[in-house]
Each structure stands twice: as C-alpha cells, then as structure tokens.
Structure 1
Amino acid sequence: MIHLRPHHLLCLLTYAGKGYSADFVQNYDRIAARLSAGEEIEIVDGPDDICAPLLTEDAPHCRRDSVVERDALAARDVGALLGLEITLGVRLGIDAARLTRLRAGFARGESRLACLGCDWADLCTDVAQGGFAGVRVAAQL
C-alpha cells in the first residue's frame, strides 16, 4: 500500500525523474514503479511516502499550511475528475483508464488550482504540454 496525500495524486501525473534531492528522486522512482505495477494508494493526511526523504530537514515544506491547502484543492479536483470523494483513508488504484482521465483533466487545467505557487508548476506544465513524454508512472493496461 502506497500512502499519498491528495496533492501527490497530481504530482504523480507528471513526475519525470526530477526532485528536491537524489534521495528524493530515488524514493519517488521506487514509488512510481510500484504505482505502475498497480499497487493500491491510501489517502493520508500530512506527509506521505513521497515526502519521506524531506522529513529530516529542520522545517520541511511538507508540514506548511500552504501544502495542506494544496491537498484540499487537489482532493476536490481529483475527486471531481474521478467521480469519487477523496478523503482520509480512501483507497484507490491508478489503472490506465484513471491515469488517462486524470492526465487529460490536468492538461486541460481542470485540476491545476492546487499547483498555484508550487515550485514545480512550470515543469509540470511543460510535461503536460509535451504529451506526458518521459513520465515515470505508467499504469498497466
């Protein structure tokens, strides 16, 4: 089971092997492989499996109020795209159909409010505009 906070449901759509540090990228690559293999996600509140390498910092951004707000916006928008409520404890898989639906909504800007102010927003926009080439999460058909 992969534990993710809601806004990471958006981040996984465009993750292409870049991150805050080498440890962060190695960890995210492992998570991307697990997601691609069909491992289920459980929605959590606060820092999750992707955040883990950043939690040793003195003041990790994972704990900021702005990130909590990002989670709320992402939960609402991802839930609307998938037709389900994204709340604490919800479990879901990211199959090819869901991944396609989420990426299409992301590319159309339907789930980007959570991305406002994110340091990675421009990179994610470029990845989406490039047809999601080079992304690391690819659900099995």
Structure 2
Amino acid sequence: MFQLRGHHLLCLLGYRGMGYSAEYTENMTRLHTTLRMQPQTQVELVAGPDDLCRHFPEDQPCHCDERTVHERDAAVLERMGLKPGDRLPWRTLEERLAATFIPGDIPRLCSTCPWLGYGVCEDGVRRLRRGEGLYPVQASGGVGDGLTGE
C-alpha cells in the first residue's frame, strides 16, 4: 500500500520521469510503475507529506507543507468525494480521476506548480480519460531531462 496526498494523484498522471533529484525520481518511478502494472494496489489518502514527499531532496527548499499545497490537496480530494484516511485501489482512483477532471482543470488547480509549464499533467488527464492509464516511464537514474522544478 502507498500513502498519497490529494494533488499527487494528478502528478502521477503527468509523470514522465522528471524529478527533483535522482532519489526522488527513482522513488516516484518505482511507485508510478507499481500502480501502472498493478492497478489493484491499495492507496491510502493522507493529509500532508506522503510517500513521495519523504524523498524530496534535503538540499532544496521543501514545499510539502506550504499552505497552497495543502489547499491543492484538499481541492482535489473534495472534487473526487474523498477524504484523508480513505483507502482505495489505484484502479478505482483512476476511474474517479477520469470522471472528475478534464485537462483544463490542471492550470486552475495547479497554478503555482513548477511543473505546470511542461503540459504533462494535462496530457496525463487526456490519456486517462481515453482509458489508457498511466504513461509508461523508464527509470532515468537521475533528474529527468535536466529538470529541477525550479
């Protein structure tokens, strides 16, 4: 089982192997690949830092406890009719995400996200709504495409 915060459900849709550090990217790729290959995997929704935040690099300013991030988490879960503490299989979360969000929601919900400009999350929502699931990602072994999120 993985613990995920609300907005990371959307981040997973857009994940393409980019990350804040090699460790962060490796962890996210592992989690993402598990969910893609084993959609019955249980996910517990949490308020605050989760299994992805725990690998955020210590040498970078951490945004995991910023007010805007918590607000984004709450907005995502509220729209999906979910709350922290809920446990569902990833497959069910994918179905709810596809039924709840359209690509145009991403710029409004994630306006302060450093990854927004890449357009990958909107593409991930489109893919999910077409029934294609998570985008296949190969482990890159580092900061994908030289992106740091800054």
Instruction: Give the TM-score band, short-chain normalised.
Output: 0.7 to 0.9
Distance 2:89 2:106 in 1: 19
Relative contact order higher in (CA < 8 Å, ≥ 6 apart): 2
Stretches of structure 1 lacking an aligned partner (at least 5 in a row) = 80-84
Verify: 1:120 aligned to 2:106, yes or no: no
Residue 23 of structure 1 corresponds to 23
2:67 to 55, 65, 68: 65
Deviation at 1:101? 5.6
Q: Alpha-carbon deviations, 1:33-66, whole Å to 9, x = none?
A: 2212131100011100011111635751101111
Mind listing any 5+ residue stretches in structure 2 that lack a counterpart? 138-150
If the length of structure 2 is used for normalisation, what is the TM-score? 0.71
Q: Helix, strand or coil: the match of 1:62?
A: coil
* Structure 1, 42-51 or 111-120: larger mean CA deviation: 111-120
Tell me, in whole angstroms, the C-alpha distance in 2 between the residues paired with 1:39 and 1:50: 16
Structure 1 residue 13, shift from structure 2 partner: 1.0
Count of aligned pairs: 130
Runs of 4+ in 1 over 6 A off after TM superposition: none
CA distance change for structure 1 residues 51 and 128 in 2, over 3 Å: closer, same or farther?
Answer: same
SS of the residue 1:7 aligns to: helix
How do residues 1-141 of structure 1 correspond to structure 2 at under 5 angstroms?
Answer: 1-36=1-36, 37=38, 38-54=40-56, 56-57=58-59, 59-77=61-79, 79=80, 85-95=81-91, 99=94, 102-103=97-98, 105-110=100-105, 113-123=108-118, 124-125=120-121, 127-128=123-124, 131=127, 135-136=135-136
Distance 1:136 1:50, change over 3 A: farther
TM-superposed CA distance for 1:19, in Å, is 1.2
Name the CA distance, whole Å, in 2 between partners of 1:118 and 1:55.
17
What is the aligned-residue RMSD (CA, Å)?
2.8
In structure 2, the CA distance between the partners of 1:10 and 1:45, relative to structure 1 (3 Å rule), is: same
Q: Percent identity?
A: 35
